Amino acid sequence: VRMAEDRTLIPHVKMGVEAREQVVTKDGLKDAPVTSPHHPLKKFAEAFTRNFDLIAERKSVVFHLRELAKASVMAKYLIDSNARVDTQWYDLADDIVKSTPPEAHPEIPQLWNMRGRSQIQVKNGRLVQSETGQYTSLMS
């Protein structure tokens, strides 16, 4: 958080993307960073990070992600610094909430995870049995 000449607080964030992958371990799949400098995911993440502000100008979802990060930084700063906030700010927030029309689609986006599995049995070069299944789980 930076302070302007007029003593207003300005959140400052530097957004970036990190290349990550799932690796197989004895305990199952684990999330890990991609470390090879020549890996395509690493190159993409570095290019995205370099051009983050330009991408945010053109893609509203990236812009809003950056604005959410700024709001989170400001909220954390105000809490960590034990800042005293005048009650007028709370009243203003209440007024904004009351005057805002309700969302047409108030659902919260969810992460869907789909997995499938197949099992086959071959006897004398011929397919004897096959079984395919899939399940979907919702994570919030």
pLDDT for 38: 95
CA end-to-end span of the chain, whole Å?
A: 30
pLDDT over 50 (residue 140)? no
pLDDT for the residue 104? 79
Strand, coil or helix: 65: helix
pLDDT at 42: 95
Q: What is the dihedral of CA 100, 63, 17, 20, to 10 degrees?
A: 50
Tens-place pLDDT, residues 37-62: 999 999 999 999 999 999 999 999 99
CB 70 within 8 A of CB 1: no
Q: Identify the helix (H) or strand (E) that includes residue 132.
A: strand 126-139
Phi and psi angles of residue 134, each rounded to the nearest 5 degrees, phi first: -150, 150
pLDDT 10s digits, 76-131: 999 899 888 888 988 998 999 999 998 877 776 666 666 667 777 888 888 777 77
